[in-house]
Structure 1
Amino acid sequence: MSESLWGGAELDLDAYLGRIGYDGSLRPTLDTLRALHRRHLDAIPFENLEIVLGRPVPLDVVSTQAKLVGQRRGGYCFEHNLLFAAVLDRLGYSFTGLASRVRMGVRQLRATTHMLLRVDIAGEDWLADVGFGGDGPLEPIPLRTGSELRHGGWTFDLVEEEPGVFLLRTRHQDGWFDLHAFTLEPRYPVDYGLFNYYTSTHPRSPFTPRIIVQRNGPDVRRTLVGQELRTERPDGSGQRHDVPADELPDVLAKVFGIELGAQDAESIRDRHR
């Protein structure tokens, strides 16, 4: 297989498919994309533990696969979506990298710090994003405006906020909640390297000062931010409670499926305190 921009030739596809528990069709169709998207989110959590511990976040396919697949860890948006891009590349999908400004309900202009993918299937464009975290979509979203989409119990829609600027929203109990805004300007792995450096090292980044671990499914979202563990359901119900430092490794393992070695568990406990 020839070398490609997105690293599909470097991917251990069988190991990835085993990690996400997928044994279906690998033809580059919409059904396959939907199934891979769902299984990836079910299996691999969103987490920033390496960033909190002050470690670099390499984005090459070999390093990312070693962490998310071999070590059965999670990652944040660039790790998830670059690994997913390598999978799509290996399977023969036609796609483009995109980048967005995260809103999370805030209208303040923020830097471009999120990655997603635009996938062309039979002449129709779909947005694939396995790396947004707790509020993100569970399946690919058609790149067209004017319709509401249901993913399990969650509702999403896409609006064109101004010419060429698209806004992805999700419905909360009190109305629409802005997730992120993006244009269709193509982005490449070299671009994400710069975005990743800022997001993983800058003191004003939301990922450097506190733990953020998330897992979302069709009926429940679980999020650990700092010391607070939150469980949320589509009807607005949920629970919140603080996680003491000594309980953190068990919570990571039992709630999010992240098993840490003894040294990392002690380091993350110290950082949590």
Structure 2
Amino acid sequence: MWSGEELDLDAYLARIGYSGELAPDLRTLRALHRAHVGAIPFENLDVALGRRIPLDVKSVQAKLVGRRRGGYCYEQNSLFAAALERIGFEVAGRGARNRSRGDALTAITHALLVVTVGGEQWLADTGFGWQGPLEPVPLVDGARVDQDGWVFGVVAEAEGVHLLRSLRPEGWADLYSFAPHSVYPVDFELMNHYSSSHPLSRFVGQVVALRPGSEARRALVRTGLTSVNRDGTTEERTVGPAELIGVLAEVFGIELDAEEAAGLVRVQSAEV
């Protein structure tokens, strides 16, 4: 389903810095998930440049592994699913509605994974950016997990829908909700087309780079760079065109070629 046989697993493991044992068990799943989100940043830079976003394993691997770039949810979770499938995990896709922006009903545009280990389901999502979990979250109503001081919870809603939440100083905040039916790589392609090309997509025409972390979570959206610390304090500043490429490299670990850098500076200049 996820073309795991086409993945260069050794190259992927080297990219995320993982050298432990490999088995389709919970220990491996947790370790791989944490290593992946720690090494490969969330970014939409090809979308901002007006490029097509291919989701086949060879293309995603060439970009996120070979070129040491990042990607957004469809790329990240396609790569992670291929790696998990190759190792022997049972992996299914899900499509989610983003609920982090208030009460408005949003379309299903976020892609995540559900991994079954020992008969139990775990939410695995390496592609939700700075607000996402560091490790898998048990897909059980009322589940609550503390990941280095960042707390996530799952709530069951009507019609089998599950809601992922995070605990903030002001209380629980909704992240996204998803139904129990599976989605497939072809569905990722459809969501990817909307997110990468539709004029109402929040990824089109602007720079977005996001990164979770144990101590702090960071987001660059347009010209605004925000850091949220584990204690709840927030730092914000503006990133102008002259420092954009340096911030992408130093804060998010994104390596760009000269053509990409010049194009992104032009995009950023239009925001100032």
Find 2:72's aligned residue among 71, 76, 100.
Answer: 76
Contact 1:105/1:177 (<8 A) preserved: no
Find 2:243's aligned residue among 242, 247, 258.
Answer: 247
Specify the code of the residue in structure 1 equivalent to 2:163: L
User: How far apart in 1 are the matches of 2:246 and 2:218?
Assistant: 15
User: How far apart in 1 are the matches of 2:239 and 2:93?
Assistant: 37
Instruction: Summarize the alignment of residues 1-273 of structure 1 with structure 2, pairs less than 5 Å apart.
Output: 5-273=1-269
**Offset of residue 253 of structure 1:** 0.6
Aligned residues between the structures: 269
**Offset of residue 147 of structure 1:** 3.0
What secondary structure is seen at the aligned counterpart in 2 of 1:101? strand
Contact 1:67/1:74 (<8 A) preserved: yes
User: How far apart in 2 are the matches of 1:86 and 1:233?
Assistant: 32
User: How far apart in 1 are the matches of 2:18 and 2:216?
Assistant: 22
User: How far apart in 2 are the matches of 1:95 and 1:76?
Assistant: 19
Contact 1:65/1:83 (<8 A) preserved: yes
User: How far apart in 1 are the matches of 2:258 and 2:186?
Assistant: 35
Structure 1 unpaired stretches of 5+:
none
**Offset of residue 219 of structure 1:** 1.6
What secondary structure is seen at the aligned counterpart in 1 of 2:225? strand
Structure 2 unpaired stretches of 5+:
none
| Residue range with higher mean Cα deviation, 120-129 or 69-78 | 120-129
User: How far apart in 2 are the matches of 1:110 and 1:169?
Assistant: 16
**Offset of residue 209 of structure 1:** 2.7
**Offset of residue 183 of structure 1:** 0.7
Contact 1:96/1:186 (<8 A) preserved: yes
What do the CA deviations read for 1:5-42 (whole angstroms, capped 9, x no partner)?
Answer: 21101000000000000000111110000000000011
| Residue range with higher mean Cα deviation, 133-142 or 235-244 | 235-244
What secondary structure is seen at the aligned counterpart in 1 of 2:19? coil
What do the CA deviations read for 1:190-241 (whole angstroms, capped 9, x no partner)?
Answer: 1110010001111111111311101111121011011011111122212110
User: How far apart in 1 are the matches of 2:47 and 2:215?
Assistant: 29
Contact 2:69/2:255 (<8 A) preserved: yes
What do the CA deviations read for 1:229-257 (whole angstroms, capped 9, x no partner)?
Answer: 11111222121100110110111111111
Q: TM-score, normalised on structure 1?
A: 0.97
User: How far apart in 1 are the matches of 2:33 and 2:176?
Assistant: 19
Contact 2:90/2:117 (<8 A) preserved: yes
Contact 1:20/1:42 (<8 A) preserved: yes
Runs of 4+ in 1 over 4 A off after TM superposition: none
Q: TM-score, normalised on structure 2?
A: 0.97
User: How far apart in 1 are the matches of 2:67 and 2:43?
Assistant: 14
| Residue range with higher mean Cα deviation, 201-210 or 32-41 | 201-210
Specify the code of the residue in structure 1 equivalent to 2:33: H
Contact 2:95/2:178 (<8 A) preserved: yes
**Offset of residue 262 of structure 1:** 1.3
**Offset of residue 259 of structure 1:** 1.6
Contact 1:76/1:131 (<8 A) preserved: yes
User: How far apart in 1 are the matches of 2:102 and 2:234?
Assistant: 23
